[in-house]
Structure 1
């Protein structure tokens, strides 16, 4: 089965043709969705985007029926799930895209191990699978998006192949290929930097510098920007007749018996292979969310933001998925805590974040650019054509995230944030995944795994009672489970009664002075970042515990207009402190309401504290 060119289906040597373009589009969407089921609505979106015709759903159902008939002789099943969605039953190893990915992964492993000749052979085998433009002739926004993503993957593999050939000394042949590639991708500075290096190694210094001048004029004319720091550094090394530029960089291939036996010390960047992910945590439940996140990465999504309220388990889930995905990113895994709301330290500046990321990928501290945009450009240049997994923990806002994103889709970024990244969906086409509290079944399984046994039977009603007291919030459940399992071996019914006795207080959800297990402290980090009006509304929700309210309810209690009230409500939503269950109706998590009640009580008791709290919130606005 082929998607690396015009769509083609072969079974037992016989080709099955899908006559209708829309049938091909539906088949491609299902095939490239990593086994996920797609609803009729999702297929409508794949074919027409945001502007479907009135009869779109009926048209999709008709084409699905005809597609199912066409696939009967191919060994491929088009299944309809109980919730009226569709999925393909097909083995990955019969799809040329999966074969290409396996070739690239094996090539990257050989490249990292210092075997450029073997790596080049594998890259070449993968690239030979391509038969032209991927998904050629298939209409719709989904196909357009995947075409761009697949083209980037092909270019990254071609670039890596040329680096391996350069490591083997084939500079003149590589230069000819690079001239052709740069003509097809004139604004790709990574390719032009590679071409300059290749020409310099071919004793064509004047031609290499001419490439730099041409690139600078092109960037100024078309984008109004200067060349990237990486390109400028290569130009300066050529002007300085830097001999180390004549030898393969470690990002082309590590030293091996296939390359030179010795080489002089270098002054250029020497990318390490970072493995910075903290220890993989134990995850209970979240099966559907994990499948969505891992599936999105495998289908080519380059940036995913995991959002949710404090204590909902974003970090645990992100780390679990990052460790699961790590083998597919042989160039390394980067981890950075950005110090957003709830962190123990101050927020990390973009300059400091870029400094740490650049040093992690081999840039000497003395070579760091002085400006944030220059550091961001250098970071994008160094990650281009390489496969890194970057986990950015606890982002403060979308602007902080935006500056830390690689430019190429070869690397993947996972972000956790309490602040919603809606703006990045517009500017960078990121995938947002909202994380809610556990379902009843997940909370019960979580508690049973940690509390049952050793003479304490897992009685379902008791587990449900404990889970309800914890609002099914993972951090609260984990704290209670840790306290109940500290060696006292209290019966689970006693654990539930203890929570019932402290109902309305967050004292039960902390372990000593450990900030990482203090639910009140986790909530405080988000509250203290609110504006004065939003902080006032947050405290007001103490009276709305367990119920949904409308904008009219809130406006009446605040004594403000609908417009101003809506702006304040949206601020709480953006901070993941308020959920909109159904359109126009809002709900706050019960434990957040308990925290709001504590704050409201404190406000009533101490007018001086009220002024100080409001002032702090205003300063954070």
Structure 2
């Protein structure tokens, strides 16, 4: 803000000044300057360049005379007064403006924010190179847009909407995807009497999002649009808040370690970063916590996350990225995005990673969510998992340094070291008792040294000590020395297993024979978690006995309990696997794993039979398990088990294929259909379907291959890739025609017909659907009849043949009711109503629609409820009952938006036509 213009030299010299200025009155180290200006690849001469630039800046600033650049012991510091930097002035005035707003002086607050905005002149730090300048450009540009939004909100509340239209129009033009600007512009136009222009703005952003990103507008904007269509009187009043509907609030943080000790400086550093970023109004805080395996990264991250969770009211996300899992490959960015989107309430899936990342950023925009990304393998794995415009906190743990996040994304790095000796002794006191440690302080100090001051090793050792209350610590230390001597040949320099392996072996060697066998066999299991019933099949013991064994291993910190199941720390799992392969024969290992896979297959099949009446399970050539299957008190518990265990089954499928257990691999995949279809994790589904397809190609029977090809067709259709879907379905149909299984052929034909209907290829679709119907014999399962007839009925409706649709619809309803297939009955009822409507039998159509609505209410089926409402709206439009038609269409639109259904576009188009037709 000074008056004198100063020549500041080359771009990198100006970039150095930018770092010093933005961190004015703080010490900036030489390494921070190098990272900020040169990034990951500084030249060999970089130290000399920094010295040259500092010298040049001192000389240039001496001309101005009001800024002092000094050298401190650790780096450099630029001393500036409180009004010498535009950014400082903005932060100060913004604080004052928010104080005025809290005092009820919103109009004055808006004017003060307007003064802040006037300080922006072009692009911040324009032309400056380096990761720091890149990150700050994004941050300061985002700060400006947030101030525009904040000022607009205050002016709308003060009734100054007409003044806003021009400024918001420019903001929307500059940031067309920013829905907050669009909502404010719509409201300003609406209150200025320009309702049609306001509605046109919504249509413009809806088309933009659909064309560019494959997305719908977010809930708040859609809600505003619906209220404008209703002419909601509250929108006219600046004093009435326009509250967005509540969305799903995730709460996924793991439980906190009860014996947490130390890490005081690290927790304080994390807290300071959060406060600093919050006070500077920065949109995103990232803390990359790195360190060796077992050092306590996740424990620290969870501890800190839980302490600050109340500051993030929109929820907490947790995702294990599996960067260092010994049995499973790291989670791909696409699959990680799919899981995060599902947790945030999005049911839509697209195959393109860029589209998924855009959807993710859109859902997090303007929210405060805490996101813990655990066990990241690399910068590339997590970069697309970072929010864009958001006030969220992202905590990332990794054994790698993730330097790219620091250089390019402005991450704050926290490298976690070993516990100090006092901290390690405190952890020991918390777990084995203060008196025992203090009575043998020298032996305790030797023990924590032997554990490498590593928290994981200390916790395992503590349980070993607790189990020997009559043995002195000195004797136990000597025992550990002996264990280390036995494992000398396994040690590798800088191997993070070294500190842990000795301690685990010490505990492992103290286990009785049955516990030791259980421990090592569990090390073979690739599933992320395992329950007592599944483990009983693995170790071939009764469930009650197995539960006791798991509990004891958990008490000794060799297993970790989690929501009724058990999991390993990955380093302990490595050791368990090593012991399994060294102490068990390959035949015994394969026998145990195969027994586990058979138990899962038997359990999944039995559960599906109970969940879905008349469900077409394929014949299994795999023997049934001899171990007890899970039992459930309620249907909800059954669905919960099925959904949770699908994650374990997914991990077992690849293992089964590797072992050549191809029958098990494809049948386990078949059993996951309902979970993946309903969850929307389509890309992950396609991965296991591809594995299963390879397994089916090893079998003589073409039936399994045809079934998996059918599922691949369904999966690609869900992604909107109908051409690929048709290829898979046609391949599957060719195989199905070779075998005598009418139900399989009928299902294949019906799915192919439905995909062709989505592509508007009605004649081809009808031909396939008619063939599917003809395959259904009088003694065929009712489920088969209903499914094939449903596809044909819908094709006849959409292709403008209502008489044919009505005929088949009545037949389909009879079959659906006979097998209690509620969803099929609902869809057929809606299509029968459509047929009556299109035949101009409005009275009958109305009664059938109402019947469909009643059925949907009983089923809790909102999707078909919305289809019925949309059909009723079209019926009312045809008889010129525009108000009633609008009411039905609005209700349908609200449901489709909530379900993320593509039919929302049809509802919007109908509402637009109603607006035009209703005008006299």
TM-score by length of 1: 0.61
2 CA distance for matches of 1:425 and 1:302? 11
> Shift of the alpha carbon at 1:56?
3.6
2:341 pairs with 337, 354, 365, which one?
354
The Cα shift of 1:592 comes to 7.9
CA contact (8 A) 2:213 2:359 kept: no
1:549 alignment counterpart: none
Indicate the SS of the match to 1:259: coil
1:234 aligns with 2:222: yes
Largest Rg, 1 or 2: 2
Q: Which residue matches 2:387?
A: 406
Unpaired segments of 5 or more residues in structure 2?
485-501, 512-518, 529-568, 594-653, 660-687, 692-920
- What does residue 225 of structure 1 align with? 213
Aligned to 1:165: 155
Q: CA deviation at 1:181?
A: 1.3
Distance 1:378 1:396 in 2: 23
SS state at 1:176 partner: helix
Structure 2 counterpart of 1:438? 418
Matched, 1:60 2:47: no
The answer to whether structure 1 residue 188 and structure 2 residue 145 are counterparts is no
Please give the alpha-carbon distance, in whole angstroms, between the structure 2 residues aligned to 1:525 and 1:306.
29
In structure 2, C-alpha distance between the alignment counterparts of 1:353 and 1:37, rounded to whole Å: 38
How far apart are the structure 2 equivalents of 1:526 and 1:98?
A: 56
Moved more, 396-405 or 18-27: 396-405
Q: How does 1:143-542 map to 2 (within 5 A)?
A: 143-215=133-205, 224-226=212-214, 228-230=216-218, 234=222, 237-238=225-226, 241-243=229-231, 246-247=234-235, 259-260=239-240, 268-270=244-246, 282-285=260-263, 287=265, 291=269, 295=273, 298=276, 300=282, 302-307=285-290, 311-322=294-305, 329=311, 332-337=314-319, 351=338, 353-358=340-345, 369-371=347-349, 380-393=361-374, 405-416=386-397, 429=409, 431=411, 433=413, 438=418, 441=421, 444=424, 446-447=426-427, 450=430, 454=435, 456-457=437-438, 462-481=443-462, 492-493=473-474, 496-497=477-478, 499-500=480-481, 503=484, 504=502, 506=504, 524=523
CA deviation string 1:344-396 (max 9, x = no partner): xxx997555434334xxxxxxxxx55436888756533532344433345679
Cα distance change of structure 1 residues 592 and 459 upon mapping to structure 2, 3 Å threshold: farther
Tell me: CA distance 1:459–1:169, structure 2 relative to 1, closer, same or farther (3 Å): farther
Do 2:29 and 2:75's aligned partners in 1 also have CA atoms closer than 8 Å?
yes
The 3 A distance-change label for structure 1 pair 350 and 57 is closer
Give, in angstroms, the shift of residue 453 of structure 1: 5.1
Preserved contact between residue 338 and residue 392 of structure 1 (Cα < 8 Å): yes
What are the equivalent positions in structure 2 for 1:568-579 lying under 5 Å apart? none
1:598 to 561, 569, 579: 579
1:498-520 superposed Cα distances (whole Å, 9 cap, x missing partner): 544655462666999xxxxxxx8
Q: 1:408 to 1:292 in 2, by over 3 A?
A: same
Aligned to 1:128: 115
Measure, in 2, the Cα distance between the counterparts of 1:284 and 1:92. 38
Deviation at 1:466, TM superposition (A): 2.0
> 1:443/1:164 Cα in 2 relative to 1: closer, same or farther (>3 Å)?
same
Check conservation: 2:293, 2:399, Cα contact below 8 A.
yes
CA contact under 8 A between 1:104 and 1:126: conserved in structure 2? yes
Could you say what secondary structure the match of 1:162 adopts? helix
Render the CA deviation track for 1:477-517: whole Å, top value 9, x for unaligned.
245457757996976545534544655462666999xxxxx
Q: CA deviation at 1:179?
A: 1.0
User: Secondary structure of 1:237's partner?
Assistant: helix
Q: What value does the CA root-mean-square deviation take over the aligned residues?
A: 5.7
Q: Distance in 1 between matches of 2:588 and 2:215?
A: 55
Q: CA separation in 1, counterparts of 2:475 and 2:109?
A: 62
1: CA distance, partners of 2:68 / 2:435 = 49
Go from structure 1 to structure 2 and tell me whether the alpha carbon gap of 1:17 and 1:116 turns closer, same or farther (over 3 Å shift). same
Instruction: With a CA cutoff of 8 Å and minimum separation of 6, indicate the structure with the bigger relative contact order.
Output: 1
When you count strand as a share of all residues, which structure comes out higher? Answer: 1
In structure 1, what is the Cα distance between the partners aligned to 2:395 and 2:19?
24
Deviation, structure 1 residue 207: 0.7
Which residue of structure 2 lines up, in the alignment, with residue 361 of structure 1? none
Gaps of 5+ in 1: 1-5, 9-13, 249-254, 359-367, 513-519, 530-575, 578-588
1:208 Cα offset (Å): 1.8
